[in-house]
Chain A
């Protein structure tokens, strides 16, 4: 046993001391945080330009209200004396008896020469026309992917036109707004009676609990398994390419070597879990969302992440031991990677509806159990306990089988050089 621990310790230290690992464990959250900060900063600051646009107002009554709306909007885009959004500056175009085409040509030229950002043509019948014959307001711009201006124009014009229509029909628009007030719908969990007979308050389900917590579990599980498996693969290939394996086999048995390596990456998986959970708990603590922390879920996560690291680790290690160089290993790895990606991608189905038959089925499929069952447990109402235990039994059984098969392949593979074996050959090694 002590030899297994010596190998495990060396493997653990080798991995956690690599630059790649340090970057992934420390820099990754920092980078992600920085990315979100940048995104929110960029969203607020990216567009503070003045956007002059011309209005060909066929109705003759919409320009003034539009200018007033633009003034209000521009005032809102200033926070603490600093501009945080674009400034929309409408100008009215005098038609001067010119033909519509001439006018539009001239305005297009002005857009090209950057005197204008865009121009908009409001048809004369836009207020009166209803039903199928509504004319559309036409927005012309060089930069047609720029969204804020046309979006605002559409909203502002529609509001004004609706108001004019109601006024024309002699209806009080405020009354309409009051009568049309929409009611919100909030989602709650179920009401329960506690042991002392009182009825518990149903808990309002918020989006954070619904998506963020399972998403966190999913990403952490995937990252941990991927880091561990990838490291094992590289380590075993290095040992084979640098001819270290046989030196080690003079001191330990292949099974001790295999188990030592796997325990090493289980240690790494637990370290990653610890670091990221500490971060998550800190975030929950500082945002006052302690209610989202469930120690039982954390404990289950540890169980599943250990099983996943062992399961995928043993598969990667066995396949890696059968290859003599990284190129061979990469093609050999593909089925295992696909299995892992399937488990990861499939989990999004579980997030959408954790109680669907497909989600339940996936949570019982051993290679997917660590992902799918974890998600089902992290989302209300949660699976019945027998589901969890049965899937865990399947997972442990499969992991044990993979460890056994891996040790058989490893024993032969680690001394092999040259061509990578075919699948039938691998099966022969297992049966030998």
Chain B
């Protein structure tokens, strides 16, 4: 069974099409990474999954339910814009958030004790939120989203603004939850974290789905068009070859993006110069992300120039 099954949802704000015909299927028990540049529709999609926003069209089913009231208590949600009541104590905030998920106080207290200890916050349970450092507050926010022991956990940018130590602690916590059987969906800009943690990656860009699959599938799809070469004569030898789309010159070697078959390109290259190294490159998620999202910057620049 799927934890999330979204079919062709769209959302428009005035003139702006924020999400356009997006479909996502998140299998139960998986860690699903949600990537995309700022303003691409990630948060809007997550809000529609959480029924905070209602889609203009399409259907959302979470944990087998289409009505939010049927699944809301079993879903933990850490929004990108998150906060805590400054004047409340850590314990009271966590109890309040837990109670809103319908959990009895005894269970909340047990869970709270465990999580506070795990994230080294045990001494802070009776302190007011305003006394916490930013990193501590973020950890408390994370605990607030998992205190109800949800079946599905949706984390919007959980690692942003955390120092490496705290980010690591949170990543471990996510893996621990995964081992307990919790399905986890998180959106992130941190491609390393996504690559390391996620079994499946979903990328949304300009409101549309551009990537959806396992990391292997995605890398295979994008692998064939980039090669790393080291040739006598360097970068100038690569220009003018028919299938070269762009060259990223690193000095001693060059990354070449191709429009055609790498084997044909190798034959052309051998005829032109001596080839010391030829490697079909497995692109990192970061490379793929940048490759998909970069035209947006070009569009923006063009728009800015047009406006001027």
Which A residues lie at the B interface, using CB under 8 A?
A: 2-3, 6-7, 10, 14, 238-239, 242-244, 246-253, 415, 417
Contact = CB atoms under 8 A, between A and B. Distances in A.
Interface in B72-125: 72-73, 75-79, 81-88, 96-97, 99-102
Given A6-B96, A14-B88, A415-B53, 18 more contacts: A10-B96, A14-B85, A239-B83, A242-B84, A242-B86, A246-B82, A247-B79, A249-B50, A250-B50, A250-B76, A250-B79, A251-B73, A251-B77, A251-B101, A252-B100, A253-B69, A415-B47, A417-B81
Interface residues of B, number: 30
6 contacts: A243-B82, A246-B82, A247-B82, A249-B52, A250-B72, A417-B81
Q: Describe A's contact surface by its main secondary structure.
A: helix
Contacts of A246: 47, 52, 79, 81-82
B84 A244 contact: yes
Contacts of B85: 14, 238, 242, 244
B68 to A, nearest CB: 8
Contacts of B9: none
A7 B100 contact: yes
Nearest to A18: B87
Contact of B100 (A239, A242, A251, A417): A251
A417 B81 CA distance: 11
Q: In the complex, which of the residues A10, A250, A252 has the most CB atoms of chain B within 10 Å of its own CB atom?
A: A250
Contact of B83 (A2, A14, A242): A242
Given A250-B50, A250-B72, A243 B99 contact: no
B204 interface: no
B81 A248 contact: no
B144 interface: yes
Interface of B: 47, 50, 52-53, 68-69, 72-73, 75-79, 81-88, 96-97, 99-102, 141, 144-145
A415 B52 contact: yes
Pairs of residues from A and B, 9 with the lowest C-beta to C-beta distance, nearest first? A250-B77, A242-B83, A243-B83, A251-B100, A243-B81, A246-B79, A244-B83, A249-B52, A6-B99
B96 A247 contact: no
Contact of B77 (A2, A247, A253): A247
B39 to A, nearest CB: 14
Contacts of B84: 242, 244
Contacts of B88: 14
Contacts of B144: 247
Given A2-B102, A3-B100, A6-B96, A250 B75 contact: yes
Contacts of B100: 3, 6-7, 248, 251-252
Contacts of A417: 81
B184 to A, nearest CB: 15
B102 A247 contact: no
A3 B73 CA distance: 11
Contacts of A6: 96, 99-100
